[in-house]
Amino acid sequence: MKKILVTGALGQIGSELVMHMRSIYGNDNVIATDIRRIDGNVAVESGPFEILDVKDAKRMAEIAKQYNADTIIHLAALLSAVAEAKPVLAWDINMGGLFNALEVARELNCAFFTPSSIGAFGPSTPSVNTPQDTIQRPQTMYGVTKVSGELLCDYYFKKFGVDTRGVRFPGLISYETLPGGGTTDYAVDIYYEALKNHKYSSFIKQGTYMDMMYMPDALNAIVTLMEADPSKLVHRNAFNITAMSFEPSQIAAEIKKHIKDFEISYNVDPVRQAIADSWPDSIDCTAARQEWGFSSKYDLASMTTDMLNKLSGKLNIK
Ligand code: VAH
């Protein structure tokens, strides 16, 4: 990877991945794009930034040619809860944008990464230690676009030889940007509320297990996969990866070790609860470990310590 075009660069993953990749490949070699510019944002100010609506195929191709991109990291998408509220827009952005990005990668012979998600599984998928290859009948628009995206990326590899690669991300937890519109966002919101108010009302009910990962491990996984030997990639797109699986009372108990009077309560959102119930409790990531050496560093305890330290600085709360 030498000239990397990132779409959705101001989102939860993009805002940190741009900085991570710039630290590895050089500021001028990572072109950040998003549908809007946020002046002062470090991803905008520390290197090339272009406004790009991923539904605009012509503009995407122009930017990729202008910067001689050899890699496209396509992150622009609507997340699960927003996609369920706006399913037509979600298909338009998640699939229309993906198709445009794959076409640019095909025309310019770019390597290509886009994330799938545990949202690509559904209620008929084995929910414990979910296999790499299994039933995928998601019942959310987000999940439909993720399964479709996995198949489209496989097609572009087999039909056109585009070097497509991807992972099925679990819920990602980070402190740089507030996540928007996801089902796993409770596991980010809880840290903010714990520091600000020493209490949190969870929209996901107690006992609801979901796979999760701290953002540093997600960033490392993307770079490791993109640098991996392609001859070793059997599954190529949509590798199951995870770092931990927990339910709301477990993250609350871990926070309580740092904030003694922290209390969790529950005010369940039926829409996001139904989405969470359709996802696995835990997934198997043997294929990722075997084919490109995936590993994760953070567990719930070490993530909680780091999240609370970083957020207390960001929120200026001692
Ligand atoms: C969401 N954070 O909740 C995203 C992710 C696995 C969850 O896809 O929609």
CATH number at residue 31: 3.40.50.720
- Residue 229 and residue 181 share a domain: no
Predicted local distance difference test score (pLDDT) of residue 71: 98
Query: CA 156, CA 203: separation in Å to the nearest integer?
Result: 38
d(CA 201, CA 188): 12
Q: Which tokens hold the place of 202?
A: 């969870």
Can you tell me the distance from the alpha carbon of 35 to that of 275, in angstroms, rounded to the nearest whole number?
27
Q: Does residue 136 share a domain with residue 118?
A: yes
pLDDT at position 306: 98
Do 308 and 228 share a structural domain?
no
pLDDT tens profile 72-115: 999 999 999 999 999 999 999 999 999 999 999 999 999 999 99
195 CB-contact burial (10 Å; exposed 0-12 / middle 13-18 / buried 19+): buried
CA distance 113 to 153: 9
Which residues form the pocket of ligand 1, taking CB atoms under 6 Å from any ligand atom? Answer: 79-80, 117-119, 142, 169-172, 182-184
Nearest ligand 1 atom to alpha carbon 169? 6
Q: What is the pLDDT of residue 1?
A: 73
**Do 246 and 101 lie in a common domain?**
no
The model's confidence at residue 318, banded by pLDDT at 50, 70 and 90, is confident
Sequence-distant (≥ 6) Cβ neighbours of residue 26 within 8 angstroms: none
Verify that 114 and 231 share a domain, yes or no: yes
Query: Do 57 and 194 have their domain in common?
Result: no
- How far does the centroid of ligand 1 lie from the alpha carbon of residue 183, in Å? 6
Q: Which tens digit of pLDDT belongs to each residue from 124-154?
A: 999 999 999 999 999 999 999 999 999 999 9
Q: Which residues contact 258 (CB under 8 A, 6 or more apart)?
A: 304, 305, 308
Report which secondary-structure segment, H or E, holds 15. Answer: helix 14-25
pLDDT tens digits, 208-225 = 999 999 999 999 999 999
Point out the least confidently predicted range of 47-61, 168-182, 274-288: 168-182
| Residue corresponding to tokens 């640098």 | 227
Whether residue 180 is predicted with pLDDT greater than 80 in this model: the reply is no
Give the number of the atom of ligand 1 that is nearest the alpha carbon of residue 181. Answer: 9
**Quick one: average pLDDT of 36-60?**
95
Mutation choice for ligand 1 from 172, 188, 244, CB with most ligand atoms inside 8 A: 172
- Domain of residue 108 covers 4-169+216-240
Report the 10 Å Cβ neighbour count for 74.
Answer: 27
Distance of CA 107 from the midpoint of ligand 1 (Å): 30
Q: Are residues 119 and 264 in the same domain?
A: no
Taking a C-beta distance cutoff of 8 angstroms, is the pair 183, 169 a contact? no
Residue 245: both structure tokens together: 């699986």
Helix (H) or strand (E) segment spanning residue 63:
helix 57-66
Do residues 90 and 226 both lie within one domain?
A: yes
Clarify whether residues 195 and 154 are in a common domain.
Answer: no
Query: Average pLDDT of 2-7?
Result: 96
**Average pLDDT estimate for 213-242:** 97
* Domain match, 196 and 129 both: no
Does the annotation mark 142 as catalytic?
A: yes
Residues 308 and 190 in one domain: yes
Confidence of residue 201 (pLDDT cuts 50, 70, 90): very high
Q: Is the pLDDT of residue 295 over 90?
A: yes
- Neighbouring CB atoms inside 10 A of 159's CB total 9
Number of structural domains (the chain) is 2
**Catalytic-labelled residue, pool 25, 67, 142, 192:** 142
DSSP H or E segment with residue 73:
strand 71-74
**Alpha-carbon span 89 to 95, nearest angstrom:** 10
Rounded Cα gap, residues 227 and 177, in angstroms: 26
Examine the domain organization and report whether 274 and 136 are in the same domain: no
Query: What b-and-e string marks burial along 96-107, b requiring 16 or more CB atoms within 10 Å of the CB?
Result: ebbbbbbbbbbe
Spatial contact of 109 and 43, defined as CB atoms under 8 Å apart: no
The one-character DSSP state at 210 is E
